[in-house]
Structure 1
Amino acid sequence: MEFLNEYGPRFVDGALLTIQLTLGGIVLAFVLAMTFGVLGTVRSRLARAIATVYVEVFRGVAALVVMYWLIYALPRLTGFQLEDMFAAILALGLNLGAYGAEVVRSSINAVPRAQIEATMALNLSWAQRTRLVVLPQAWAQMLPTFGNLVVELMKATAVVYLVALQDLTWIAEDVRRLSGETIAAFLVAFALYYLIAQVLIFGVRLLERRANRKLGRTPPSGGGLLGLLRPPSVGTKVGVAQ
């Protein structure tokens, strides 16, 4: 208790910075994922080529390398210095957005072809059929994977301590150094990271339930640690050949 009284406010500050990085990265990654994911499904070869280049480049480069490049290399090339916080969010968003773009592309391609042909028979424009038919169904399919990517992005924020941003990992290491309490310092960090992850998972599950209800589907059972304790759905037999 004395440890928390002394260092608790610092951990809260670190957690708040981690949350800011996470939310900023999520917004940027979502915009990039939707943009390049949709581009990857259009007929234009140029559009698909642009989407492929983005995905392959930023999916193949570590977020830490992108962050170092933005903070240290870019100023030498352009003379402009990005704020460390902005550069970190940009690196995280670019990296996770590339993974998200593939999720969007595959989810759109998974929509039954018969439904797309029906919209064409109704003379709906590409924008209309994408907005009214394709994306609502693809959205429900992509949300579970988006949930995993959101948590991965949150965990990836830990790399920012290498550029002296005082996130949760930086605070835990500094508190360990000052107090000598290694177990206590990283136990608090462990608990806070886990708590943030559970809140993110809960939020994605709510979106997933809402999306499935709009499509008339049965919402999936809840995730997280408590989800592991729930029995299987009625009528489901695990391990029994059909």
Structure 2
Amino acid sequence: MEWISYLPSLGRGALVTASITLAAIALGGAAAFVAGIARVEGGRIVATLALCYTELFRGTSLLVQLFWFYYALPLVGISFEPVTTGIVVLALHVGAYGSEIVRGALASVAQQQHEAARALNFGRMQTLLHITLPQALVEMMPAFGNLAIETLKLSSLVSLISIADLTFRAQSIRNLTLDSTTVYTLTLLGYFLMSLVLMGLMRLLERLVRRGAAFPRAAHS
């Protein structure tokens, strides 16, 4: 029953992993909506800037991004704590991939909906908030759920910049005990349980969105 002695340390690491993942999803989701809407509704300059951000973070390695923010950026006088670095880089990653989800969902709204909005004398912002976005949000949710799970799995990379997350603590215990099978089995179970909880939360959010709970005013307008 020696494996029981591993649980407190692994549990603390799991809390760090969960907090980093949730923070990155929240911040990255906001970045995704800003960049995605900018791609569709922004002017040429704004859309180009959003495109550059998206392609930069989708086209480079997340591990290299972590190392650049943690090791290279301080050389020009800008530095963050390891946890802050991990959250920021993961959020930018989520935002880049999520912006494509937002852009695609907005673009999928039928043209007749835009024509109906113009017939009602809606402005661009009114059309976005009351017509386009509520419909597109329903289409985004399954893809955002997958992106959230992927973010949880990718969060293990933050252990490489000295963050004591679940992976970091598992490796530390393994180095002391050489009990690779038990330690990594418990680690796999930890990530699996966290992914189940995260999937449940995302499915609950998806159900709320489908019921119109996220846009109560739009539902009654």
Q: Which residue is equivalent to 2:193?
A: 195
What does the per-residue CA deviation read over 1:133-185, in whole Å, with 9 as the maximum and x for residues that have no partner?
A: 11111111000000010011111111111111111111111111212211110
Report the AA paired with residue 207 of structure 1: L
Structure 2 gap segments, 5+ residues each: 214-221
* Normalised TM-score (structure 2): 0.93
Given that 1:39 and 1:48 are in contact with CA atoms closer than 8 Å, whether structure 2 keeps it comes out as yes
Give yes or no for contact 1:64–1:91 (8 Å, CA) kept in 2. Answer: no
> How far off its partner does 1:90 sit?
0.8
AA of the residue aligned to 1:58:
F
Aligned to 1:139: 137
Alpha-carbon separation, structure 1, partners of 2:130 and 2:91: 27
Question: 1:82 — aligned with what?
Answer: 80
Which residue, out of 96, 99, 112, partners 1:98? 96
Q: Which residue identity lines up with residue 159 of structure 2 in the other structure?
A: Y
- Aligned 8 A contact 1:172 1:186 in 2: yes
Structure 2 CA distance for aligned equivalents of residues 10 and 71 of structure 1? 25
Partner of 2:216: none
User: Which residue identity is paired with 2:201?
Assistant: G
Instruction: Note if contact 1:21-1:157 (Cα within 8 Å) is conserved in structure 2.
Output: yes
Could you tell me which residue of structure 1 aligns to residue 34 of structure 2?
A: 35
Query: Match for residue 204 of structure 1?
Result: 202
Residue 22 of structure 2 corresponds to residue 23 of structure 1: yes
- Other-structure match for 1:118: 116
- In the other structure, the counterpart of 2:9 is 10
Match of residue 49 from structure 1: 48
- The aligned residue for residue 219 of structure 2 is none
The whole-number CA distance in structure 2 between the counterparts of 1:7 and 1:66 is 31
List alignment gaps of at least 5 residues for structure 1: 216-242
- TM-score w.r.t. the length of structure 1 is 0.85
Deviation at 1:43, TM superposition (A): 5.4
**8 Å CA contact retained: 1:11, 1:168:** yes
Q: Which has the larger radius of gyration?
A: 1
Counterpart CA distance in 1 for 2:28 and 2:52 is 16
**Greater helix proportion:** 2
Amino acid at match of 2:60: V
Q: How is 1:207-222 mapped onto 2 (pairs within 5 angstroms)? A: 207-214=205-212
Aligned-residue offset at 1:214: 2.5
| Structure with the larger RCO, 1 or 2 (CA within 8 Å, 6+ apart) | 2
Given that 1:22 and 1:157 are in contact with CA atoms closer than 8 Å, whether structure 2 keeps it comes out as yes
**In structure 1, what is the Cα distance between the partners aligned to 2:68 and 2:193?**
31
Q: Quote the offset at 1:213 in angstroms.
A: 2.4
Give the letter for the 1:127 counterpart: M
Quote the residue 2:218 is aligned against: none
> Aligned AA for 1:182?
S
Give the secondary structure class of the aligned counterpart of 1:40.
Answer: helix
Q: Note if 1:181 corresponds to 2:158.
A: no
